[in-house]
A and B are shown apart, each in its own frame.
Chain A
């Protein structure tokens, strides 16, 4: 090649490099504008991942696309054994794209899990989705609020709600796992804030390393929103919402606040474990102790969420109605009265309050009539528990007639709810526990020296029911 040609080529190279440099600036500007993540920002990534992301450059997208196509093809054919690996590769090729993490985890937790019949198989996929977000996504995108929101949602909705046929299994499994790590107590994290014994230290390590939860943050949450039952999924949902909230920018906070308040509402409805036995799903009841905290949360939300204030107000009013009624049916009349007054004061035009003429008893009775026609399993269960509690209370007060009346009402409500299912219809998901089990749980609850009836009432009740005297504390 002659000299002139070489010089010409070198000039060409320089020209193209300058052009590339110039266009790179424009591309970088555009990236910033549309908030595309920068690979150079990738933190906490293992060397192999950093190498792959840089070495493959723009080809990463093409490879990721091919993997997506394969994943969807396999899913169409109901072949799932490769999904974990494909999701791992896809997310590792695009670790800073939050949508990739969200889609892959949602796919496993919601779309793939339901393809299996065995609850064990379903649970494995639900956990795969949760682990993908909790263990990997948060490692690479620690400041991404939507990932926290999604993680919280999986706990609150997939495990906590009753839409999945296997929800009881999920709840049981999660309860067992947290029960082990929290030392058999709903507030077992307290021992793990400053663990003293070796056993506590081991549990604290598991909580931090496996479940990625900090006991000190749990304590902070409990003080603000609790007391929560940490063995239930909604408490974990609140945890992830709260952690995300700390890292979120102003405009992203709303989604995290919502998930916290929704989870608190669930915690209020059934956030207390009444009774748990090995190999059985624990029996839940409403956590009436957190009514003031839930109310406070709603008020904060109303103050913060100006745009959708009407929606929040409606939710708040519904919560107050429910709180009054739950307190009433659980024989906590004083508190019910207090919150009923608050409801009247806050929402004087409320149809239900007006319909009851501002009278608590009328309000409660009307709600019972409505509730009996409802299909909400948690609500019905809570009514039955409330009636049974009343039954034992009147028995302790020596009013057997009334006690029998409430007992019969509870039984009738149970029968009426269960009779809605026709033979062959799937009922496990939304069926109530056996009546005897509910009754036994309520009795255990009211006889509990810590949280049950007053000592005199407990003693009377034990005599009436021919139960042995309460064991004395040494």
Chain B
């Protein structure tokens, strides 16, 4: 253990020697202090808090991410190039411990920097929000500076119905695999539509298992309905009548709301928690009295948000997810510098990062099942040979990136959503153990096999 500590300490010293720590500290201080002074927001306290959280945390992540990669590449590659590693390697310490020690050194360094800057952001938020009028503070406490979880109606499994209808159709049709895929999608949408559409003068009922929200009921915290709907014949700038009846025979209270809401956007409004029935069920009814049909998508049409905890713990969990990313970046940087020179390792890791950040383009290619596009008339792939090579590569990349990007701590915080302990644990598993593990295995193997004594001559 002492050997590991020694390597960790050497890594810290190297970080201070590079003066990177000081530069990053100044940049972080600027991100925390100057950003709130210069950013423009939508004019509401809620908007300001959201943008403050988003921009300060994103800047911190970006700054620490770049510096981690730089430091990870520098600390090992330079030691090898300048032959300092030879002094360490001849000591009674296995090579994996040298590598692992450097990784831990970078992790602890990041923990410190992230902890300090995170504390500054938190302090700033609390300080600024305390200066707001009580009404605004209330909004922030209920909607942004809070950890809310969500509940939705159980989405019915349409697969059996879709397959049944599809098989019936296929009895009379001869289709190519692509056409079958399109037809399946079409049938799926038709089956879904029956659940999603509320025709004129009709009613739609949601029954949500809301037992999880009973804590909010005990605390007297409001629950929030988050809704989004579409209309069949939209008029630009119009709003639509929404008649709600929330509660059931088993709830202490039943409320009726009449609202005019805009379509194609999210709306959040509070309802008293005792609309939840004694059986833990929350019954919500919507009546469509508009001149057009209304559609509530199954995935995001109606969601119930409830208080689950305070902001501080959520904030800490968000910082931990950011730390997991930094841990992964440190492993990637060290892995690259285990077999490349400093400039090449830095360039290669930055390029890999840019490649990964372009995953959205790859994702859309994977969704469309082609990289080079399709012929509009025949719907056939323009370049099937290249597609067959590129698509598996894209699919793999998207899967790997999704493992790391599945969590959006900044998004969650700015919308007052809970990052659960389970999510934190799975983020740790996916980002640190799995991806970080693979990177460190590659790095340690490369470092183990590297001839350190000749590296300096290059």
Q: Interface residues, chain A, CB within 8 Å of chain B?
A: 78, 80-85, 88, 110, 113-117, 124-125, 128, 163-166, 422-426, 429
- Quick one: closest B residue to A166, CB to CB? B237
Give Cα A85 to B39, complex, Å: 6
Kindly list chain A residues whose C-beta atoms are within 8 Å of the C-beta of B48: 81
Q: Could you say which residues of chain B place their CB within 8 Å of the CB of A166?
A: 237
Q: Please determine whether A164 and B54 come into contact, CB atoms closer than 8 angstroms.
A: no
> For B43, B241, B259, B260, which residue has the most chain A Cβ atoms within 10 angstroms?
B43
A85 touches B267 (CB 8 A): no
B158 within 8 A of A: no
Within 8 A of A (CB), among B408-431: 414
Minimal Cβ-Cβ distance residue in A for B48: A81
- Determine which of A80, A83, A164 lies in contact with B237 in the assembled complex, contact meaning CB atoms within 8 Å: A164
A113 to B262, CA, bound (A): 10
The number of A-B residue pairs with CB atoms under 8 Å apart is: 71
Residues of B within 8 A of A110 (CB): 236
Chain B 260-279, CB-CB to A under 8 Å as 1, else 0, gives 11101111000000000000
29 pairs, A vs B, C-beta closer than 8 Å: A78-B265, A78-B266, A81-B41, A81-B46, A81-B414, A84-B40, A84-B43, A85-B40, A88-B40, A113-B237, A114-B236, A114-B237, A115-B264, A115-B265, A117-B260, A117-B267, A124-B43, A125-B42, A128-B42, A128-B43, A164-B236, A165-B237, A165-B239, A165-B260, A423-B289, A424-B289, A424-B290, A425-B290, A426-B241
A282 to B42, CA, bound (A): 28
Rounded to whole angstroms, the CA-CA distance of A163 and B234 in the bound complex is: 13
CB-defined interface of B294-327 with A at 8 Å, one 1/0 digit per residue? 0000000000000000000000000000000000
Q: How far is the CB of B297 from chain A (nearest CB, A)?
A: 13
- Checking B42, B228, B264 against A81 with a beta-carbon cut-off of 8 angstroms, the contacting residue is B42
**A114 near B262 (CB under 8 angstroms)?**
yes
Residue in B39, B262, B290, B414 whose beta carbon sits within 8 Å of that of A116 in the complex: B262
Given contacts A88-B40, A117-B259, contact A81 B50 (CB under 8 A): yes
The answer on a CB contact under 8 Å between B240 and A83 is no
**Within 8 Å of chain A (Cβ to Cβ): is B217?**
no
Interface residues of B in 217-255 (CB under 8 A from A): 228, 236-241
B262→A115 contact, CB < 8 A: yes
Find the residue from A81, A83, A110, A115 having the highest chain B CB count within 10 A.
A81
Interface centre among B42, B259, B414 (most CB of A within 10 A): B42
Q: Is B167 an interface residue (CB 8 A)?
A: no
The 5 closest A-B pairs by CB, nearest first: A424-B289, A164-B237, A115-B265, A81-B47, A81-B50
Inter-chain contacts of A125 with B (CB < 8 A): 42
Q: B239 contacts A163, CB within 8 Å?
A: no
Which residues from chain A contact B290 at a C-beta distance below 8 Å?
424-425
Is B291 positioned at the interface, with any CB of A under 8 Å from its CB?
yes
Asked whether, in the complex, the Cβ of B239 is within 8 Å of the Cβ of A84, the reply is no
Any A CB within 8 A of the CB of B452: no
Chain A residues near B238: list those with CB within 8 A. Answer: 165, 426, 429
Q: Is B151 close to A, CB under 8 A?
A: no
- Contact check, A78 vs B262: say whether CB atoms are below 8 A apart: no
Nearest A residue (CB) for B39 = A85
In the bound assembly, the distance between CA atoms of A138 and B50 in angstroms comes to: 30
CB contacts (< 8 Å) of A78 on chain B: these are 228, 265-266
Within the complex, what minimum Cβ distance (angstroms) separates A39 from chain B?
23
Collect the chain B residues with CB atoms within 8 Å of residue A426's CB. Answer: 238-241, 260
When distances are taken between beta carbons in the complex, the residues of chain B under 8 Å from A117 are: 239, 259-262, 267
In angstroms, Cα B42 to Cα A82, docked, is: 7
Is B85 interfacial (CB-CB < 8 Å)? Answer: no
Tell me whether B51 is interfacial, beta carbon within 8 Å: yes
Roughly how many angstroms separate A117 CA and B163 CA in the complex, as a whole number?
Answer: 41
Q: Which of B41, B55, B239, B260 has the most CB of A within 10 A?
A: B239
Contact of B51 among A85, A128, A422 (CB under 8 A): A85
Chain B residues with CB below 8 A from A128, complex form: 42-43
Closest A residue by C-beta to B53: A81
- Restricting to B21-70, which residues have a CB under 8 Å from any CB of A? 39-44, 46-48, 50-51, 54-55
